[in-house]
Amino acid sequence: FESLKENEEALQDLCGVTLPVFCLLLNLLPPRMYACNAMSREDKLRLGVAYSTLGATFSVTAATASTVFLKTLSILSIALKNWVFMPSREIIKLSLPAPFKGSYPNCTLIIDCSEICTEALSNPDCEHRLYSHHKGGYTLKFLIGIIPNGMISFISKVYGGRHTDMFITQESGFLRLLKPGDVVLSNKAFPSMQATVEEKGAVLLVPPFDSGGGQLPEQDMEKTYRIAPVHIHVQRVVRRLKISHILSNSVPQSLVPHMNKIISVCAALANMQAPII
């Protein structure tokens, strides 16, 4: 860590955060939480590499490196949980980016589902729940919601890849966030969710879909063109989230049980970066 304090670019490459953010995270960890010979408190935040690599780097066993990682993860997941939250509508209005002011001035949330690839599991039942026909492999799925300026305001727990986007959206607790007057954008059709959203006094806007394969009417084409440019921002946030190697690589079996904590920490870290819009 000492060798990186003067080289912020190297710190950013290694840890994915700036020095001020790194120091903030560092202060969340108890100074003497571990008694590992070569592993300082600073070094414990260098996540995203194999336990064997950490062990070799700091002259500890892979088992010790695993223990350090999981304990640090648990502490950070609790300490950072309030960094992902739904701000008031007044705050959302004040931070509304220009692309939204003309088309969707009342937009409060943009939602999307994303997937993370995993290794095949040894448990057949777990493999069945994680298999995604869409991806043709084993995945974990989650629902993400951002406010118009790109801040993550909702991140669900992870679900097996076999679950539909509709199921995840309804089961994740996302609907409890909605208040009368909220306008939610999505690039996916959720026909059975429209009524539920309307019961909350909110509005769900999605692009029109033509199930017959024909050309959409002109007014529907215009609606699609208006939603697409603003919805792309949630995809940019997901890409930022997956810059963390732990989410962009295939998740090993050993980490699958810890993915709810991992993704919540990654979401909080994403919110500590400069605005994406």
Q: Tell me, what's the pLDDT at 239?
A: 85
Region 24-36: what's the mean pLDDT?
71
| Long-range Cβ contact pairs of 2-11 (< 8 A, separation 24 or more) | 2/42
Q: Are 189 and 206 in contact (CB under 8 A)?
A: yes
Structure confidence by residue, pLDDT tens digits, 88-133: 999 999 999 888 888 888 999 999 999 999 988 888 888 888 999 8
Confidence band for 208, pLDDT divided at 50, 70 and 90: low
Which range among 131-135, 219-223, 246-250 shows the weakest confidence by mean pLDDT?
219-223
Per-position DSSP letters for 89-121, written without gaps between them: HHHHHHT--HHHHHH-TTEEEEEEEEEEEBPPP
Q: Look at residue 87 and tell me whether its pLDDT is greater than 90.
A: yes
Domain boundaries, the chain: 1-80, 89-272
Identify the residue whose tokens are 């979401």: 267
Question: CA 263, 266, 269: angle at the middle one, nearest 5?
Answer: 155
Q: Tell me, what's the pLDDT at 156?
A: 97
Confidence band for 69, pLDDT divided at 50, 70 and 90: confident
How far CA 169 is from CA of 8, 191, 197, in Å, comes to: 39, 12, 11
- 70 vs 41 pLDDT, higher one: 70
Spatial separation of the C-alpha atoms in residues 66 and 51, rounded to whole Å:
6
Burial label, 182 (beta-carbon count in 10 A; 0-12, 13-18, 19+): buried
Question: CATH number of 89-272: 3.30.70, 1.10.3470, 2.40.30, 3.30.420?
Answer: 3.30.420
Identify the residue whose tokens are 């992902």: 84
Structure confidence by residue, pLDDT tens digits, 167-196: 999 999 999 999 999 999 987 766 678 888
Q: Tell me, what's the pLDDT at 216?
A: 45
Q: Tell me, what's the pLDDT at 51?
A: 66
Q: What is the pTM of this model?
A: 0.83
Q: Tell me, what's the pLDDT at 37?
A: 47
Spatial separation of the C-alpha atoms in residues 158 and 161, rounded to whole Å:
9
State whether residue 235 is helix, strand or coil.
helix
Q: Are 231 and 144 in contact (CB under 8 A)?
A: no
